[in-house]
């Protein structure tokens, strides 16, 4: 194995420093774009909320709770879709860490729902069923998140010969 001359080593170090500087600039641009996109989504959600309030006032303020909650659910689906698919690969691992943390909170809530006393009342059986479904789905989400994160991190490891 030949050793590098001092000039070659300095040249390679400068090239690596420039590549790191370019990567940092690209990451900053991506973060700025993500913040701008998040602001656009927030303003559109705010506009949708204002429109819903106008409808509520024009109908005498009587909106069924199911309709209101369902509209929030549908908006959350759209916001989640656009947020997740606009993430750059460099920000994927931190995002997965946050979603795993959110899913762990869902697991705690699902465990509380599963543990409801069945003699507590009319909706106790439904609470247990939905709690179990939430527990299974959140657990699958956490496991899949860790698998994807592990695979993403493996892409950055040095390949061994």
Residue 61, C-beta contacts closer than 8 angstroms, at least 6 positions apart? none
List, for residues 29-83, the tens digit of each pLDDT value.
777 777 777 777 777 777 777 776 776 666 565 677 888 889 999 998 888 888 7
User: What is the pLDDT, as a whole number, of residue 47?
Assistant: 74
Indicate the range of 48-52, 58-62, 103-107, 125-129 predicted with least confidence. 58-62
Looking at the chain, the whole-number percentage of residues with pLDDT higher than 90 is 6
Tell me how long the chain is: 161
Residues 77 and 109 in one domain: no
Residues 93 and 82 in one domain: no
The overall average pLDDT reported for the chain is: 79
Residue 128, C-beta contacts closer than 8 angstroms, at least 6 positions apart? 113, 114, 116, 118
**How far from 74 is each of 66, 68, 120, CA to CA, in Å?**
12, 10, 31
Residues 7 and 78 in one domain: yes
User: From the centroid of its chain, how far is CA 91?
Assistant: 11
Residue 72, domain extent: 1-86
Contact at 8 Å (CB) between 21 and 79? no
Instruction: In whole angstroms, give the CA distance from residue 129 to residue 50.
Output: 35
User: What is the pLDDT, as a whole number, of residue 19?
Assistant: 78
Residues 11 and 82 in one domain: yes
Residues 136 and 57 in one domain: no
Residues 82 and 116 in one domain: no
pLDDT: is 130 or 32 the higher one? 130
């Amino acid at each position: 194995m030949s050793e590098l001359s001092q000039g070659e080593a300095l040249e390679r170090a400068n090239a690596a420093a420039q590549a790191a500087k370019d990567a940092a600039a690209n990451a900053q641009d991506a973060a700025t774009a993500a913040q701008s996109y998040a602001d656009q989504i927030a303003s559109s959600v705010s506009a949708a909320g204002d429109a819903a309030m106008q409808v509520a006032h024009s109908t005498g303020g009587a909106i069924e709770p199911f309709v209101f909650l369902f509209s929030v659910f549908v908006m959350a689906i759209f916001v989640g879709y656009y947020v997740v698919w606009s993430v750059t690969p460099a920000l994927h691992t931190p995002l997965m860490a946050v979603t795993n943390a959110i899913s762990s909170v869902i697991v705690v809530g699902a465990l509380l729902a599963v543990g409801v006393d069945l003699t507590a009342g009319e909706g106790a059986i439904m609470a247990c069923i939905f709690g179990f479904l939430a527990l299974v789905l959140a657990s699958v989400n956490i496991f899949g998140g860790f698998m994807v994160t592990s695979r993403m991190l493996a892409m950055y490891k040095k390949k061994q010969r």
